Each structure stands twice: as structure tokens, then as C-alpha cells.
């Protein structure tokens, strides 16, 4: 057997002598390898590459990758199940809430009362504290999007209108609303932080816009339902 033929068959020989080449051919290759140090060397090198390939080091992606994944998943879920979709039904979000049967145990009622007290305290401290509005725009200081100031002003106006009525809500409704707002604000905070690191990151820009839209939709629903 010639060197060329042996070299061309070496991968088949290394990968499965009984699968890709016949016993007879394998014997011919072995005979050649015994007598040809050059081809033997070639075989050893290909085998080393084959073995090393299974032991390659793993690479680590940037830590921000998980944040982006989590944000996108949360945004997708929110888009699928957000309040706007409920509001599009005839009964709306209010109807959805009304359709739910709330039964509370004593500990739950006690917990609810505690939440209500906490909210009242938070509202009072909000009124008299350094941040007189209750708008939480996730520590927004400088605009990261060209239209961000405009969005913030719109959200602030809507939120002020909602805040003015919030005192009349029952604890359950308030807790539901706060829960949605907190969730959006937390995501917004994470995304803005990421965007601050890389202001040209188109995905983060998209995420921030989507979250502002979600927040506006929530406030619109509350306004429209005249809570």
C-alpha cells in the first residue's frame, strides 16, 4: 500500500476499523505503518488531534448574557399575558379580577392588613419625603434613549392620575397593581443598567422600549377602567 493511500484512509482507520474499512484493508494499513515511520507519525498526530478535540477547554460567555435572556423571556411572557390583553376582552382586567373568587384565611387577612399599613406608610413618606411623586422610574437620571424624557413625562402624568385615585382602592387591588409595577420597574432597572454599559446595544434599547410600553399599557388600562 502506498503512503498516499494510507494517509487518505487514516481517519477511517482511526474512527472505526470495523465500520469504515475492511479487516483486510486495516491489516494492509497496519503493515505499512509498521514499516513507515513517516505515516506512523502522521497517524499519531491525527490521533492526538482526535483525542484533544474531546478535551477542549470550555469558554465562558459574558455574565450579561443571562440578564439579557431573562429580560427577554420576561418581556415575552408579559407581552403574552399582560394587562392589555385582558383589557381587550369585554370584561377587561377589572372583569378578570372580579371573576376571581377571593377567599382569605385569617393569616392572609392579617398579611393583607400589614401590606396595606406598609403602603400607607410608604405613601405618606412619599408625600413628605424627598421624592414627592410616587413614580419610580428605576433610578432614571440621564436619558439613554432619544425619546426617553418624553416617555418619562407621559408616564409621570399617567402615574400621578392613578396615584390620586389609589387611596380609594382596596388592599388587594393595590397589591396587584404594585406587584405589576414593581416587576416592570425591576426589569427596567436591569435593562437600563445594561444599556448604560453599552448605549449602542440595540437589544437592550429594544428591551427598555418594550418595558416602557408595558408600563404605559398598564397605566392606560387602569385609567380606562376608572379604578
SS (H, E, C) 176-220: HHHHHHHHHHHHHHHHHHHHHHCCCCHHHHHHHHHHHHHHHHHHH
Can you point out the beta strands (E) in the chain? none
Residue that has been written with the C-alpha cell 398598564 in this structure: 218
First CA to last CA across the chain, in angstroms?
A: 89
d(CA 137, CA 185): 7
Q: Which of 59, 101, 200, 226 binds another protein (CB under 8 A)?
A: 59
Q: Looking at beta carbons only, is 5 or 116 nearer to another protein?
A: 5
Of the ranges 25-33, 72-80, 89-97, 108-116, which one interacts with another protein (CB under 8 A)?
72-80
- Work out whether 74 is an interface residue with another protein (CB under 8 A): yes
- Work out whether 62 is an interface residue with another protein (CB under 8 A): yes
Q: Which of 27, 50, 98, 165 binds another protein (CB under 8 A)?
A: 50
The CA distances from residue 98 to 78, 92, 102, 103, 173, in Å, are 21, 10, 9, 13, 10
Instruction: Show Cβ contacts of residue 121 under 8 Å, excluding neighbours closer than 6 positions.
Output: none
Q: Looking at beta carbons only, is 55 or 129 nearer to another protein?
A: 55
Q: Looking at beta carbons only, is 22 or 38 nearer to another protein?
A: 38
Instruction: Show Cβ contacts of residue 208 under 8 Å, excluding neighbours closer than 6 positions.
Output: 144, 145, 148, 188, 191, 192, 195
Chain positions 162 to 221 lying near another protein, rule: CB under 8 A, are: 179, 183
Q: Looking at beta carbons only, is 7 or 123 nearer to another protein?
A: 7
Question: Least distance from C-beta 68 to another protein, angstroms?
Answer: 6
Number of residues that bind another protein (CB under 8 A): 46
Helix axes 202-224, 148-166, angle to 10 degrees: 30
Q: Looking at beta carbons only, is 71 or 192 nearer to another protein?
A: 71
Question: Least distance from C-beta 73 to another protein, angstroms?
Answer: 5
- Work out whether 4 is an interface residue with another protein (CB under 8 A): yes
Binding site for another protein (CB under 8 A): 3-4, 7-8, 10-12, 15, 20, 38, 41-42, 44-46, 48-62, 65-66, 68-70, 72-74, 76-78, 80-82, 179, 183
Amino acid at each position: 500500500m502506498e503512503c498516499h493511500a494510507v494517509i487518505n484512509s487514516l481517519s477511517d482507520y482511526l474512527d472505526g476499523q470495523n465500520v469504515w474499512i475492511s479487516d483486510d484493508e486495516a491489516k494492509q494499513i497496519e503493515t505499512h505503518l509498521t514499516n513507515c515511520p513517516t505515516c506512523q507519525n502522521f497517524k499519531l498526530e491525527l490521533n492526538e488531534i482526535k483525542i484533544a478535540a474531546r478535551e477542549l477547554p470550555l469558554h465562558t460567555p459574558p455574565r450579561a448574557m443571562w440578564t439579557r435572556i431573562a429580560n427577554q423571556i420576561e418581556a415575552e411572557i408579559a407581552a403574552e399575558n399582560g394587562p392589555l390583553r385582558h383589557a381587550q376582552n369585554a370584561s377587561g382586567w377589572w372583569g378578570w379580577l372580579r371573576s376571581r373568587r377571593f377567599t382569605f384565611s385569617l393569616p392572609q387577612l392579617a398579611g393583607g392588613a400589614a401590606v396595606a399599613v406598609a403602603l400607607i406608610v410608604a405613601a405618606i413618606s412619599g408625600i413628605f419625603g424627598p421624592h414627592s411623586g410616587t413614580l419610580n422610574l428605576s433610578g432614571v437620571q440621564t436619558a439613554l434613549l432619544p425619546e426617553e424624557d418624553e416617555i418619562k413625562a407621559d408616564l409621570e402624568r399617567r402615574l400621578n392620575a392613578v396615584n390620586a385615585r389609589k387611596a380609594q382602592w382596596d388592599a388587594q387591588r393595590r397589591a396587584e397593581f404594585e406587584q405589576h409595577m414593581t416587576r416592570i420597574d425591576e426589569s427596567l432597572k436591569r435593562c437600563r443598567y445594561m444599556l448604560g454599559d453599552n448605549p449602542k446595544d440595540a437589544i437592550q434599547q429594544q428591551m427598555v422600549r418594550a418595558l416602557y410600553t408595558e408600563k404605559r399599557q398598564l397605566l392606560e388600562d387602569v385609567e380606562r377602567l376608572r379604578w
